[in-house]
Structure 1
Amino acid sequence: MLVKWIRCGVLDQDGFDRGQRGWAALRNRPGFHGQGGGWSRSQPGVAHLFAFWDGQRSYDAFMAGPHDELASAQTGTYEMLAARTFAHRLDVKVGFEPRFSDADLLRVALCKVRPDRVGHFVQMQERVWNPAMAGSPGMLRGVFAEGADGDFLVLSAWDSATEHGKYREGAVARLSQRADLDADVLSVAGDVVDVVPEWTV
């Protein structure tokens, strides 16, 4: 599965929102599995979107075909757009599906991993982070995916900000130490996203 992460700096939030609802046309595209997103909690005017495809071929066909027509509805509503793709490596909780209808909040983390530590980082994701997140009340599902140049994406969906806050306060520092995260990564950047239900496809 291919995961696409789009981050937009939005100028016209109402116009962007109206345009985003037009992406419902994706439902009929071969190889498309789902899309959702919302607004950043920490950065006003920043939108995050996550799309899921069965592979590079179907994604490339969409980009070469109807993508530009759909995207034209949002022309002029944003000043910055950054898009990256990642290849699925692991589910965070068994049986990941790209569903957002039951999620209140998304947590996205981008980890830049040292080249000589990729194997250890992936192993710790599987043995330390995934079980801890899967066992956290309120964590619905998630995905761990690999991009280019040692970049890894961790996306998790939560049923409430309260439950995510409990996990973050109670577990993250302890798990980071146990997984020796500082030795694995050059940087970790991320955001917390309030889901907009109407953007779910």
Structure 2
Amino acid sequence: MLVKWIRCKVVDRRGFERGQRKWAGLPGEPGFRGQGGGWSRGRQGVAHTFSFWESRAFYDSFMARSHDRLAAAQSGTYQDAQAKLFDHRFDVKTGFEPRFADADVVRIAHCRVHAERVEHFALMQEKVWNPAMAGSPGMLRGLFAQAVENEFLVLSMWQSTAEYGKYRAERVERLSLRAQTETDVAALAGDVVDLEPSWTV
């Protein structure tokens, strides 16, 4: 599965949200699995969207045919758009499905890992971070995905802000030490996204 993550700074919120509704046409696209998104909790006016495709071939076909027509509705409503593609490597918890209706919050961690530490980083995600997140009551599902050789996205969906807050307060520092995260990671950027139900496709 291919994951596309877009982050942008919105300059016309009403126009952007109106344009966001135009993406309702996506379910007719071959290989499309789901899309959702919302507003950054920590950065004013920053929007995130996440879309999921069965394969790179289906995604490329969509980009060549329908993308520009759908995207035109949001033209001029945002700036500094950054789009990144990742290949799904494994689930956090089990049976990841790109559904957003039961989640309030998405947590993302975007990591650039030292080249010689990539395998260790992936192993720690599987053996240390995944069981801890999967054992948190409010964590619904998530995935671990890889872009170029040493760039990764960890995306997790949570039932509520309160549940995510509990997990973070209790466990992140301890787990980070155990997984040697500081040794593995060259750069880390994260965000917490409040999902907008009307953006779910």
- TM bin (shorter chain): over 0.9
2:124 paired residue number: 124
Q: Match of 1:101, SS?
A: coil
Map 1:79-158 to 2 at 5 A.
Answer: 79-158=79-158
- 1:9-32 CA-to-partner distances (Å, cap 9, x unmatched) read 100111100110110100110000
Offset at residue 174 of structure 1 (A):
0.5
Structure 1, unaligned stretches of length 5 or more?
none
2:37 paired residue number: 37
2:182 paired residue number: 182
- Give distance in 2, aligned partners of 1:8 and 1:25: 21
Structure 2, unaligned stretches of length 5 or more?
none
- Give distance in 2, aligned partners of 1:79 and 1:114: 30
- Give distance in 2, aligned partners of 1:99 and 1:50: 11
The CA RMSD measured in Å over matched residues stands at 0.6
1:68 paired residue number: 68
Offset at residue 187 of structure 1 (A):
1.4
- Structure 2 counterpart of 1:145, one-letter code: A
- 1:61-86 CA-to-partner distances (Å, cap 9, x unmatched) read 00001000000000110122110000
- Give distance in 2, aligned partners of 1:150 and 1:53: 22
Q: How many residues align?
A: 201
- Structure 1 counterpart of 2:68, one-letter code: D
TM (norm. structure 1) is: 0.99
2:165 paired residue number: 165
- Structure 1 counterpart of 2:124, one-letter code: M
Q: Match of 2:21, SS?
A: helix
Offset at residue 40 of structure 1 (A):
0.3
- Give distance in 1, aligned partners of 2:197 and 2:2: 22
1:199 paired residue number: 199
- Structure 2 counterpart of 1:139, one-letter code: M
Offset at residue 149 of structure 1 (A):
4.2
- Structure 1 counterpart of 2:73, one-letter code: A
- Give distance in 2, aligned partners of 1:102 and 1:18: 23
- 1:112-170 CA-to-partner distances (Å, cap 9, x unmatched) read 10000001000000000001001101001101000114110000000100010011111
- Give distance in 1, aligned partners of 2:53 and 2:37: 15
- Give distance in 2, aligned partners of 1:62 and 1:106: 25
2:47 paired residue number: 47
- Structure 1 counterpart of 2:77, one-letter code: T
Q: Match of 1:21, SS?
A: helix
- Give distance in 2, aligned partners of 1:159 and 1:22: 26
- Give distance in 1, aligned partners of 2:99 and 2:93: 14
